[in-house]
């Protein structure tokens, strides 16, 4: 058992020097090493990736399947309606804006790089047992591509995102990689060296994942500039691209999630949809729609077999193919997961677990299927009908594959220019959201709804650009690929612990719900006149009336209960919230007649078990339409004294209760809490 920490929210936001310096030093040393010894570093990274793939390929295949199965289980289960936040909270972002940010953060520029090239590679250089450029290879190409970009990867994002958001918004912990591990290791270790170590590793792992994606983005952007403007592909050009994009990302990061990242994401989603529609309409439309339908069917028909296919009977050739394709993608998704998971958790407050799981796993999936099917089948169809040059380009220079495809369509220059612009903006959205996440991870005193200072975001934007440059100079795409596989392995173990922690916490939620059904006596006095009860139900009091009710009825009742709990040896506190005395303890001698009260909070400690929290807050609410008065503007609203427990508002109003009725309600809720603790034991 563990308690939801509340004191963190009042601490000032400061730099976590342990996490910041540790991750910065590791990153800087890696940059220096790769630039100073490019040949040696490329060789070492390549051999390390081969070792990881050979020894742990089976593990990657099993654990990635487990992540997706667990995420879907949570979404389908009875826990799916639990809010990522308190029960009364609404979603932070509108659905379309949320979907756009999921799309841009989780996919990004990689779609442009692999959209035409990967299906062509699987068609022309398939895994063992298939004849290149055959009808079977054609069908298999898209099924294999869908596997690499489908439910498995998004299941990883759903798992880490739900864990981070649940413990941040439901348990009131910092939005950090360490928080979901609290049920396993306890608050003391998580707030100390173990938590710092986890966040430090998370920063480095995130840097590796972002650097891989941004490195691919640099190659893609350089290929586009070469194709459209004739600018040569070189390290100098790639350096200029990185500097320009990092500068743009820094500007965007300074504006925060609500403006910069959200607006760029919405623009990118719309632009990508328009580009996809253009290829569909100008291409062989009926053929593309037919293959799209068949590709989806084959993906779901073969997903179980492909999930566990480690090419054990295909010898060395099969092992090498698995290493450079499926294992790379699984490791890449895992290495990318801390960044994407933190980001989608940051934008998902107020959504239910079911909304979150199905939104993260299925909203981008439909677009991915359409993108790879339309781009991939267009390219394969052209190559199968004689466009051999397109196939050679895709196999030998994957970054140029999309632009080579555009040459076979009308308005190719416009399509290529649009591809360059979309790619650069994808590049910016990945860099700026990455800088935001890295800055938040290296801060101390973070609450679940604040972001790190601007200077720290700028630092990590620059660091991301530098490490991408270092890895590109070390050996281009092969080094980036190797780093992802290596960095993903240890973090995959942390994700396994996340599943354990989530399961424990969801069982606690279930016990809490079961405890809430315990029978209790009716709060209202049976002797009260039914007319008096009706009067209470249809009354819509003003602010001053509810404030007076809190002062004269609720406060004395909670004071008496608090004193009785304290007399019984329990650790208690009773705090009031008001404009002039935020969080002042009731025993500090505040004048009862002068202080304004907006809320009262009773906390009863239970050692290592969850504290009991009973809170009454003054809430502004809209009046029902049938009671509205047009005489004054304020007649549109009334005020309530709502009860809040640790999980949020209970959606009922105490106004009109007597002191005795308030006392009964507190005891009813406390009895339910004790029943919950009993079920937990």
Would you place residue 498 in the very low, low, confident or very high pLDDT band (cuts 50, 70, 90)?
very high
Report for 178-182, 223-227, 475-479, 514-518: range of highest mean pLDDT: 178-182
Q: How does pLDDT run across 610-630, given as a tens digit for each residue?
A: 899 999 999 888 887 665 555
Are the CB atoms for 654 and 554 separated by under 8 Å?
A: yes
What is the per-residue pLDDT for 211? 76
Closest alpha carbon to 417 in 250, 274, 227: 227
Rounded Cα distance, 398 and 392, in Å = 10
| Three-state secondary structure of 529-562 | CHHHHHHHHCCCCCHHHHHHHHHHHHHHHHHHHH
Would you place residue 3 in the very low, low, confident or very high pLDDT band (cuts 50, 70, 90)?
very low
Closest alpha carbon to 433 in 268, 262, 273: 262
Would you place residue 257 in the very low, low, confident or very high pLDDT band (cuts 50, 70, 90)?
low
CA angle centred on 680, ends 674 and 681, rounded to 5° = 95
What is the per-residue pLDDT for 338? 85
What is the per-residue pLDDT for 582? 40
In the numeric block, the tokens 């909203």 are attached to 363
Residue 28 or residue 501, greater confidence: 501
pLDDT of 41 over the 80 cut = no
Would you place residue 434 in the very low, low, confident or very high pLDDT band (cuts 50, 70, 90)?
confident
Average pLDDT, the chain: 83
What is the per-residue pLDDT for 282? 95
Would you place residue 476 in the very low, low, confident or very high pLDDT band (cuts 50, 70, 90)?
low
What is the per-residue pLDDT for 256? 59
pLDDT of 451 over the 50 cut = yes
Determine the average pLDDT of the residues in 498-502.
Answer: 96
What is the per-residue pLDDT for 592? 43
pLDDT of 201 over the 60 cut = yes
pLDDT of 10 over the 50 cut = no
**What three-state secondary structure class fits 618?**
strand
Rounded Cα distance, 590 and 130, in Å = 81
Sequence-ordered list of residues with C-beta below 8 angstroms from that of 221, at least 6 positions apart, any chain: 109, 241, 245, 420, 423, 424, 427
- Paired strand residues for 604: 572, 612
pLDDT of 519 over the 60 cut = no
Would you place residue 112 in the very low, low, confident or very high pLDDT band (cuts 50, 70, 90)?
confident
Buried b (16+ CB within 10 A) or exposed e, 354-376: bbbbbbbbebbbebbbbbbbbbb
Domain 8-510 has CATH 3.40.50.300: no
Number of other CB atoms surrounding residue 256 within 10 Å: 15
pLDDT of 320 over the 70 cut = yes
Residue 596 or residue 655, greater confidence: 655
Closest alpha carbon to 661 in 557, 505, 581: 557
pLDDT of 581 over the 60 cut = no
Q: List the single range of 310-314, 438-442, 514-518 with lowest mean pLDDT.
A: 514-518
pLDDT of 546 over the 60 cut = yes
Sequence-ordered list of residues with C-beta below 8 angstroms from that of 133, at least 6 positions apart, any chain: 123, 124, 383, 384
What is the per-residue pLDDT for 8? 43
Q: How far is CA 554 from CA 562, 601, 647, in A?
A: 12, 11, 21
DSSP states of 489-542 as a string?
HHHHHHHHHHHHHHHHHHHHHHHHHHHHTS----SS-TTS-HHHHHHHHT----
Would you place residue 7 in the very low, low, confident or very high pLDDT band (cuts 50, 70, 90)?
very low
Closest alpha carbon to 525 in 412, 662, 431, 350: 662
Would you place residue 517 in the very low, low, confident or very high pLDDT band (cuts 50, 70, 90)?
low
pLDDT of 189 over the 90 cut = no
What is the per-residue pLDDT for 439? 85
Q: Sort strands 637-645 and 609-622 into parallel, antiparallel or unpaired.
A: antiparallel
Are the CB atoms for 125 and 383 separated by under 8 Å?
A: no
Closest alpha carbon to 176 in 187, 192, 189, 165: 165
pLDDT of 588 over the 70 cut = no
Largest CA-CA distance found in the chain, in angstroms, rounded: 91
DSSP states of 16-64 as a string?
-HHHHHHHHHHHHHHHHHHHHSHHHHHHHHHHHHHHHHHHHHHHHHHHH
What is the per-residue pLDDT for 503? 94
Measured in whole angstroms, how far is the alpha carbon of residue 190 from the centre of its chain? 21
What is the per-residue pLDDT for 2? 41
Report for 25-29, 529-533, 649-653, 662-666: range of highest mean pLDDT: 662-666
DSSP states of 561-580 as a string?
HHHHHHHTT--EEEEEE-SS
Q: Where are the domains of the chain?
A: 8-510, 530-680
Q: List the single range of 70-79, 345-354, 521-530 with lowest mean pLDDT.
A: 521-530
Are the CB atoms for 462 and 431 separated by under 8 Å?
A: no
pTM beyond 0.85: the answer is no
What is the per-residue pLDDT for 59? 92
Measured in whole angstroms, how far is the alpha carbon of residue 489 from the centre of its chain? 20
Are the CB atoms for 177 and 441 separated by under 8 Å?
A: yes
Is the Cα dihedral 653, 658, 664, 670 positive or negative? positive
Determine the average pLDDT of the residues in 245-255.
Answer: 75
């Amino acid at each position: 058992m563990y308690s939801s920490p509340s004191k963190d929210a009042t601490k000032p936001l400061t730099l976590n020097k342990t996490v910041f310096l540790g991750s910065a030093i590791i990153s800087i040393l890696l940059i220096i090493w790769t630039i100073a010894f490019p040949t040696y570093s490329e060789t070492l990274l390549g051999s390390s990736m081969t070792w990881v793939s050979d020894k742990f390929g089976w593990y990657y295949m099993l654990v990635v399947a487990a992540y997706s199965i667990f995420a879907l289980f949570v979404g389908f289960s009875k826990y799916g309606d639990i809010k990522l936040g308190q029960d009364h909270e609404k979603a932070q972002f509108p659905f379309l804006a949320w979907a756009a940010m999921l799309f841009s953060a989780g996919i990004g520029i990689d779609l442009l790089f692999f959209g035409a090239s990967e299906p062509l590679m699987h068609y022309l250089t398939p895994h063992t047992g298939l004849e290149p450029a055959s009808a079977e290879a054609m069908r298999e190409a898209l099924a294999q591509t869908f596997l690499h970009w489908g439910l498995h990867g998004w299941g990883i994002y759903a798992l880490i995102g739900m864990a981070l958001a649940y413990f941040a918004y439901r348990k009131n912990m910092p939005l950090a990689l360490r928080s979901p591990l609290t049920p396993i290791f306890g608050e003391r270790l998580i707030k100390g060296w173990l938590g710092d170590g986890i966040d430090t590793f998370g920063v480095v792992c995130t840097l590796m994942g972002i650097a891989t994606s941004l490195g691919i983005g640099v190659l893609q952007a350089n290929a586009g500039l070469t194709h459209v403007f004739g600018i040569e592909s070189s390290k100098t050009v790639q350096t200029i691209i990185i500097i320009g994009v990092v500068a743009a990302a820094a500007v965007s990061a300074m504006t925060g999630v609500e403006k910069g990242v959200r607006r760029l994401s919405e623009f990118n989603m719309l632009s990508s949809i328009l580009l996809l529609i253009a290829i569909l309409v100008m291409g062989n439309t009926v053929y593309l729609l037919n293959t799209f339908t068949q590709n989806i069917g084959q993906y779901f028909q073969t997903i179980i077999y492909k999930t566990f296919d480690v090419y054990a009977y295909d010898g060395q050739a099969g092992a090498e193919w698995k290493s450079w394709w499926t294992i790379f993608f699984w490791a890449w998704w895992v290495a990318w997961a801390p960044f994407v998971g933190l980001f989608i958790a940051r934008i998902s407050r107020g959504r239910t677990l079911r909304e979150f799981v199905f939104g993260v796993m299925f909203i981008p999936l439909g677009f991915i299927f359409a993108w790879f099917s339309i781009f991939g089948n267009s390219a394969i169809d052209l190559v199968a009908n004689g466009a051999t040059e397109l196939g050679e380009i895709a196999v030998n220079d994957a970054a140029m594959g999309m632009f080579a495809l555009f040459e076979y369509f009308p308005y190719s220059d416009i399509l290529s220019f649009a591809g360059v612009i979309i790619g650069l903006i994808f590049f910016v959205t990945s860099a700026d959201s990455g800088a935001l996440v890295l800055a938040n991870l290296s801060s101390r005193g973070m609450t679940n709804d604040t972001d790190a200072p601007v200077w720290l975001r700028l630092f990590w934007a620059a660091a991301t650009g530098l490490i991408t440059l270092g890895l590109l100079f070390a050996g281009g795409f092969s080094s980036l690929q190797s780093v992802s596989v290596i960095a993903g392995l240890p973090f995959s173990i942390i994700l396994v612990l996340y599943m354990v922690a989530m399961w424990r916490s969801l069982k606690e939620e279930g016990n809490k719900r079961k405890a809430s059904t315990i029978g209790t006596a009716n709060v209202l006095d049976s002797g009260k006149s039914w007319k008096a009860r009706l009067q209470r139900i249809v009354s819509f009091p003003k602010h001053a009336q509810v404030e007076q009710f809190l002062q004269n009825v609720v406060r004395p009742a909670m004071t008496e209960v608090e004193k009785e709990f304290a007399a019984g040896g329990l650790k208690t506190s009773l705090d009031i919230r008001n404009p002039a005395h935020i969080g002042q303890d009731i025993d500090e001698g505040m004048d009862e007649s002068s202080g304004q009260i907006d809320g009262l909070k009773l906390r009863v400690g239970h050692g290592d078990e969850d504290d009991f929290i009973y809170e009454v807050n003054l809430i502004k609410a809209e009046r029902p339409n049938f009671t509205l008065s047009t005489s004054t503007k304020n007649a549109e609203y009334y005020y309530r004294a709502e009860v809040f427990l640790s999980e949020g508002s209970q959606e009922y109003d105490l106004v009109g209760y007597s002191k005795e009725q308030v006392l009964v309600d507190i005891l009813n809720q406390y009895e339910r809490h004790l029943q919950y603790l009993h079920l937990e034991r």
